[in-house]
Structure 1
Amino acid sequence: MVVMTTTVEREDAFERSLDRVLLIGASRGLGLALADEWSGLGRQVVATVRGSSRTPLHDLADHDGREIEIETVDITEPDQIAALRERLDGRTFDLLFVNAGVTNEPEGTVAETSDEEFTRVMITNALSPLRVIEALADLVEPDGTIGVMSSGQGSVANNVNGGHEVYRGSKAALNTYVRSYAARHAGGRRSLVLMAPGWVQTDLGGSEARLTVDDSIPNVVTTLDSLSGSTDLRYVDYLGRTVPW
């Protein structure tokens, strides 16, 4: 059963809100929905797309009253991450949230996956988010939040059915690397969150997914707000429930 937040709960969360958001990967899917949710709540959002083509994010940013600033970065290109950092120099944010990610095509076991496809997925989902965090973390307030879109499929403990092996492995690796980052920054005041949004009906999740975007994303935002001020790494789902490593 999906537990939705009430209006009172949403208002309470807004009082603890992360008002200035740097969102990496927002051209479509969950990233676009996050930009929609945050800007709809009056947050100031800097959101990124990968290329120069017009995207649904541009359409959203054109809406009256939406504070969305669009930047461009391909997180698999270190030079582009560095250029984004330079363009944002002097800015500060309450939340850095890294959403960008891919799945593998065609689906298959690890042994059936080509070197090129395995490398693409691992670089995009595991290596590149850490490069983004390392490059942009100093733009986050000392008591701000750094969040990363993970997945319940990144849980090693919960992997009892197999399947989606390359994607699962990339998210498990992502979780491990963020945990290592947290260990290196132990004693800091920033919140660190690995977010599992649930199985959501997007291009990546597919039409058979259990949740709609409206089931997941408002709760993701509320959960991130509720964890603001915590100083330990949390791996949670969209309802704030702890996901086993």
Structure 2
Amino acid sequence: MTDSTTSGSALVIGASRGLGLALVAEYLDRGWQVTATVRGAARTGLHDLADASGGRLTVEEVDIAVPEQVTALRERIGDRKFDLLFVNAGITQGDVPVGDVTTESFTEVMITNALSPMRVVEAFQDVVPPTGTIGVMSSRQGSVSLNTNGGHEVYRASKSALNQLMRSFAARHADDPRTLLLMCPGWVRTGLGGPGALLSIEESIPAVVDTIGKQAGLGGLHYLDREGQTLPW
């Protein structure tokens, strides 16, 4: 079993900035070997981390909304194995009532937040051994039963779709011993969360990593907040 206090190996998809970048930095601080991805060739904070990592961070390029790039990355990864596969992807088009959302905007959010992460899970599941963990970054806003205030409707719908797709994946792999996680980091001050969010990255990500570690080896699908509390579907 590999938990957050022992070194391991992680493949983090979507780590050029924000929560993904912080996730990689936290795992490096804990002694892990990390492979992480950016979407394009431009230099990012992830490249700076790699330069300072002493060879423990490898940077790969992939746009997970482009299936051919996902396939190409899987081929480059080859037979490498990872204790953790974590997919971090999320965009929002603002707080717009669904009746005012364009088809193009709706499609982009759904492809980025729901379809593309699951394509990665499907394509890369075999890089994670039976004792490993497959996680995706979800949100409390993906909970249908907790939606008592409305707002950010398409973002909410995309995270609910992600949760449903991950649950279907778990159902299709009912005998799989690996741990499957839908993680809610909280409302964090990032480009996505905005400056008015309740939590700093430092208040969110270390707790997220702790929670991921505590689930290692347990198996099953879990929809959790950063403190490890189960969220209602």
State the TM-score, normalized to the length of structure 1: 0.92
Q: Deviations over 1:52-92 (max 9, x none)?
A: 10011111111154611000000000000000000001100
Aligned counterparts, 1:17-56, within 5 A: 19-56=8-45
CA RMSD of aligned residues (A): 1.1
Distance in 2, Cα, partners of 1:42 & 1:61 = 13
Distance in 1, Cα, partners of 2:88 & 2:10 = 12
Against the structure 1 CA distance between its residues 64 and 25, is the aligned structure 2 distance closer, same or farther, given a 3 Å change threshold? Answer: closer
| One-letter amino acid of the counterpart of residue 148, structure 1 | V
| One-letter amino acid of the counterpart of residue 114, structure 1 | T
Aligned 8 A contact 2:4 2:30 in 1:
no
Paired residue secondary structure (1:202): coil
The residue aligned with 2:64 is: 75
Aligned pair partner of 2:51 in 54, 62, 87: 62
Q: Which moved more, 1:107-116 or 1:153-162?
A: 107-116
Could you tell me which runs of 5 or more consecutive residues in structure 2 were left unpaired when the two chains were aligned.
none
Distance in 2, Cα, partners of 1:64 & 1:229 = 27
Aligned pair partner of 1:240 in 204, 228, 232: 228
Could you tell me which runs of 5 or more consecutive residues in structure 1 were left unpaired when the two chains were aligned.
1-11
Paired residue secondary structure (2:83): strand
Please say if 1:171 is aligned against 2:162: no
| One-letter amino acid of the counterpart of residue 194, structure 1 | L
Aligned pair partner of 2:140 in 148, 152, 156: 152
Aligned pair partner of 1:184 in 172, 177, 181: 172
Against the structure 1 CA distance between its residues 55 and 143, is the aligned structure 2 distance closer, same or farther, given a 3 Å change threshold? Answer: same
The residue aligned with 2:118 is: 130
Aligned 8 A contact 1:40 1:66 in 2:
no
Distance in 1, Cα, partners of 2:103 & 2:53 = 46
Paired residue secondary structure (1:111): helix
Paired residue secondary structure (2:213): helix
Shift of 1:101: 1.7
Q: Deviations over 1:191-229 (max 9, x none)?
A: 000000000010100111111000000000010000001
The residue aligned with 1:229 is: 217
- How many residues align? The count is 231
Shift of 1:232: 1.2
| One-letter amino acid of the counterpart of residue 95, structure 2 | E
Against the structure 1 CA distance between its residues 24 and 168, is the aligned structure 2 distance closer, same or farther, given a 3 Å change threshold? Answer: same
Aligned 8 A contact 2:17 2:46 in 1:
yes
Distance in 2, Cα, partners of 1:199 & 1:140 = 29
The residue aligned with 2:5 is: 14
Shift of 1:137: 0.4
Distance in 1, Cα, partners of 2:77 & 2:31 = 21
Aligned 8 A contact 2:113 2:158 in 1:
yes
